[in-house]
Amino acid sequence: MPTHSENPEPVLTSPHRRASVLVEALPYIQRFRGRIVVVKYGGNAMVDPELALRFAEDIVLMHSVGIRPVVVHGGGPQIGELLDKLGIKSEFRDGLRVTDAATLDVARMVLVGKVGRDIVGTINRHGPLAVGLSGEDAGLIGASPRDPALGFVGDVVSVNPAIVERLLAEDLIPVISTIGSDAFGQAYNINADTVAGAIARALEAEKIIYLTDVEGLLDDVEDPNSLIHRISAAELQARLDDGRLAGGMIPKVRACIDAVNHGVGSAHMIDGRIEHVVLLEVFTDAGIGTMITAIPDASAPDRQDPAAS
């Protein structure tokens, strides 16, 4: 049998490494206890069963240390899959699915009845914590049509956070499907990135976190090593205005800019393909993705200061 001096690694290094991780998390736990963190859940993190389990663990751990998470989810791929099975052809204009009455019914079934329930069920493996909501519930998300040519695709016109605040006051985790409705009760499917930003703003959240299928915001989309670790909303707006950003990142970027310009402490884009990525972003010094703040980078406190993260 080896003595401790012959093989100290399992006895000393491993426990010490685990302890150091916990100690590193401590100031962030203290800083964010009682604060609201909105997490927009989508991409591979949602369709990969193992990543879905790890995501639920992250949300439950945050809740367990006193942070108040709110989950907002989309479900575009799942909607497309069911439409294909039903023989309903999807048409896209400028990246948005044209949504007639039949397509809207499918979207509601998938988002509220399938995807939302799956997320709630996975979280609730750890205890009776999560409650599923639609944006139609209690007037949570007021909507209006974006473009008649798109059918029942909506924009957010108002957020009434009362039902979410009541759930948070009961120490529960809201899981929100992004179907909104207008004053006449007509439902609309709304971009989940936009909804997440609007909800974070209405709740005066400490953070909004977007899980994506990339590492974060890249300075050069052709160079995976050009990750931007921190950027101000003004700098990000300039990149948007001059066309350096395009495609699926635009709704996230616009939502991040709007959120931090209206009181949300910071916005984050992180790679949802990494296990426990939410914990790595919230509870470690370096973080793992791109953080957007209202403060210009040159004058901002270093990211390693938990009071500024």
Q: Encode pLDDT of 14-55 as tens digits.
A: 777 778 778 888 999 999 999 999 999 987 788 889 999 999
Per-residue model confidence as pLDDT tens digits over 103-144: 999 999 999 999 999 999 999 999 999 999 999 999 999 999
Delineate the domains of the chain, giving CATH numbers in brackets.
Answer: 31-308 (3.40.1160.10)
Element (H, E) at 268: strand 266-271
3-state secondary structure of 132: strand
Extract the residue ranges of the chain whose pLDDT is less than 70. Answer: 1-13, 247, 286, 296-309
Residues 204 and 308: their CA atoms lie apart, in Å, by 16
Q: Specify the pLDDT at position 13.
A: 54
Q: Specify the pLDDT at position 9.
A: 42
Q: Specify the pLDDT at position 8.
A: 41
Q: Specify the pLDDT at position 303.
A: 46
Within 8 A by CB and 6+ apart from 95, the residues are 247, 248
The first and second tokens of residue 154, run together, are 């909506």
173-177 and 130-134 strand pairing: parallel
Phi, psi of 167 (to 5 degrees): -65, -45
Q: Specify the pTM.
A: 0.88
Q: Which residue has the tokens 């990149």?
A: 239
CA 82 to the chain's CA centroid: 24
Contact yes or no for 69/120 (Cβ under 8 A): no
Phi, psi of 270 (to 5 degrees): -135, 160
